[in-house]
Amino acid sequence: MIDESQLSLSHCSVLLNDVVKWLNPLTGRQFLDCTFGGGGHTEALLQANEKIFVYAIDRDPSAKQRAQVFSLSHSNFRFYQINFSEVGCLHLPPLDGILMDLGVSSFQLDDENRGFSFRHHTMLDMRMDNTRGVTAADFLYKASEYDLTIAIRDYGEEEYWKKIVHVILENRKGLDMKYADSFAKIVSNCIPKKRGQKIHPATKTFQGIRIFINDEIGSLEAALPILFDKLTIGGRLVVISFHSLEDRIVKKFFNRMAGKAIDRFDSQSQQDRVSYANILTKKPITADESEINSNPRSRSAKLRILEKTHHTLD
């Protein structure tokens, strides 16, 4: 989980060396960066070998602007502004490696106009694509009690969700919830003060609302099988997650593709399972102390790698 108050403005790409190592950009290979952001991972791949080709996608319009500048100095690069759940509509060649760096980027958090951060007195937006969809402010004023509960209890995993949902419903006649910093104060006042607390009290609530309005869980679940299908035999799917919900989805998908029980409740017999891949990370790769000190965002990052061995059955 990212504590945005500790984010630097350097926009360091998380687990950069590990990503390049495991994607293994050999000459002639083709890759897809599903979350271009500021282009850090794409840049590292192209620097590692200029004789590869990298496709990149991102739903954020500001990422498209950065990609347009990036493409001026990289002829072996192409960008598409879409959600990675829509990648099936692209006519891409078989890919040797695919990267997903999930969650909100430091670019989005640092842009005061995007309303992701509770550090700024700005309209509460939080949309990954700020040209469409419902803003976080509109969600707070119009969402049902059920949807608020799903967002804050299930996606935010907030212990004090009942009180927060109640306060949101009671404050709809006021204006405080339209602004990020004001809403953060409302949430903070619902949560008992804990000695030594390391993250801002509103972090989980903000995270849950962001995940809900951007359908991040649904997009991830839809994208994983499509992306796996686009890999060559021997191709690798590399996923960095920051939230337990995301990591759980990735882990279950990897287990299913590797012919393993998806979790401890899976009672399917082993003889009925089919393996299409090998999991290359028995445990997720995490950042070392040096990277965490230089880039606090990496503290909660978990990197998992799946290598395709067979094509799935249609």
The stretch 171-196 carries a mean pLDDT of: 88
CATH of the domain at 119: 1.10.150.170
Q: Is the pLDDT of residue 113 over 90?
A: no
Q: Is the pLDDT of residue 9 over 90?
A: no
Q: pLDDT confidence of 313, banded at 50, 70, 90?
A: confident
Q: Is the pLDDT of residue 212 over 80?
A: yes
| pLDDT tens, position by position, 287-308 | 999 998 988 888 899 999 999 9
**314 within a domain of the structure (yes/no):** no
Judge if 291 and 200 occupy the same domain. Answer: no
Q: What confidence score (pLDDT) does residue 267 get? A: 81
Backbone angles phi, psi at 187, to 5 degrees: -65, -45
The stretch 223-243 carries a mean pLDDT of: 97
Judge if 197 and 220 occupy the same domain. Answer: no
| pLDDT tens, position by position, 249-271 | 999 999 999 999 888 888 888 88
CATH of the domain at 238: 3.40.50.150
| Lowest mean pLDDT across 134-148, 179-193, 261-275 | 261-275
Residues 113 and 115: their CA atoms lie apart, in Å, by 6
Judge if 101 and 221 occupy the same domain. Answer: yes
**54 within a domain of the structure (yes/no):** yes
Judge if 74 and 129 occupy the same domain. Answer: no
Residues 206 and 182: their CA atoms lie apart, in Å, by 12
Domain termination site, one of 213, 230, 246: 213
SS3 category, 77: strand
If one counts the domains in the chain, the total is 2
Q: What confidence score (pLDDT) does residue 5 get? A: 37
Judge if 118 and 206 occupy the same domain. Answer: yes
Rounded to whole angstroms, what are the CA distances from 26 to 51, 234, 265, 281? 8, 13, 40, 21
Q: Is the pLDDT of residue 159 over 50?
A: yes
The stretch 8-24 carries a mean pLDDT of: 81
Task: Identify any residues that bridge with 307 across adjacent strands, giving them in sequence order.
Answer: 236, 278
Angle at 118 between CA 112 and CA 122, to 5 degrees: 40
**263 within a domain of the structure (yes/no):** yes
Q: What confidence score (pLDDT) does residue 310 get? A: 95
Q: Is the pLDDT of residue 314 over 70?
A: no
**313 within a domain of the structure (yes/no):** no
Q: What confidence score (pLDDT) does residue 10 get? A: 38
Judge if 221 and 93 occupy the same domain. Answer: yes
Q: Is the pLDDT of residue 98 over 60?
A: yes
Q: What percent of the chain is predicted at pLDDT more than 90?
A: 76
Judge if 96 and 221 occupy the same domain. Answer: yes
The stretch 21-48 carries a mean pLDDT of: 96
Domain termination site, one of 159, 192, 213: 213
**H, E, C per residue of 244-276:** HHHHHHHHHHHHHHCCCCCCCCCCCCHHHCCCC
Q: What confidence score (pLDDT) does residue 163 get? A: 97
Judge if 181 and 261 occupy the same domain. Answer: no
Task: Identify any residues that bridge with 274 across adjacent strands, giving them in sequence order.
Answer: none
Q: Which residue range forms the structural domain that includes residue 152?
A: 113-213
The stretch 175-203 carries a mean pLDDT of: 88
- Sign for the pseudo-dihedral over CA of 72, 38, 231, 91: negative
Q: What confidence score (pLDDT) does residue 11 get? A: 60
Q: What confidence score (pLDDT) does residue 118 get? A: 82
The stretch 218-242 carries a mean pLDDT of: 97
Judge if 95 and 9 occupy the same domain. Answer: yes
| pLDDT tens, position by position, 44-85 | 999 999 999 999 999 999 999 999 999 999 999 999 999 999
Residues 247 and 303: their CA atoms lie apart, in Å, by 9
**199 within a domain of the structure (yes/no):** yes
The stretch 159-170 carries a mean pLDDT of: 96
Domain termination site, one of 192, 213, 234: 213
Among 146, 144, 127, CA closest to 216 = 127
